[in-house]
Amino acid sequence: MNTTLLGYDFDIDTDYVQNPDSEIRRQLDEYAAGDRESFDLDIEYPDAFDGDVMRAMAEIPYGETRTYGDLADELDTAAVAVGQGCGRNPVGILVPCHRVVGADGGLHGYSASGGVEAKRALLEHEGAL
């Protein structure tokens, strides 16, 4: 599914979401309008490391950020590995990889079209910047 949010295009692989596209779009619209801070969708996480990273990202509250190092400590791995897992997130926004930042607070990449500027827009929307 392709969606435009806050002026940026995002691809969401709905193979990982066990809800109809109409429900996903409804919740994304509510998020964009500022009426939703979390998604109530059935996400199917991969079994391997990427699934562990996704679960950790899903725990980051709206309006907050964590560093790659924070998640690495939680998962007993390296920050670079967490960054790679974030980059492979197939359901960006729904699982908020945009809430993961560098140790210096920097926005060091984002895999959605629009890159770091899209990440910045999402974090500003949530009041995290």
Number of domains in the chain: 1
What does the DSSP assignment read for the chain? Answer: -EEEETTEEEE--GGGB-S-HHHHHHHHHHHHTT--SS----B---SSHHHHHHHHHHTSPTT--EEHHHHHHHHTS-HHHHHHHHHT-TTBTTB-GGGEE-TTS------STTHHHHHHHHHHHTT--
Full domain range(s) for residue 48: 2-125
Give percent above pLDDT 90 in the chain: 88
Reported pTM:
0.93
Residue range 13-24: mean pLDDT, rounded: 97
- Taking only the tens place, the pLDDT of each residue in 51-74 is 999 999 999 999 999 999 999 999
- Taking only the tens place, the pLDDT of each residue in 26-43 is 999 999 999 999 999 999
By annotation, the residues acting in catalysis are 97
7: domain CATH number is: 1.10.10.10
CA atoms within 13 A on the CB side of 19: 16
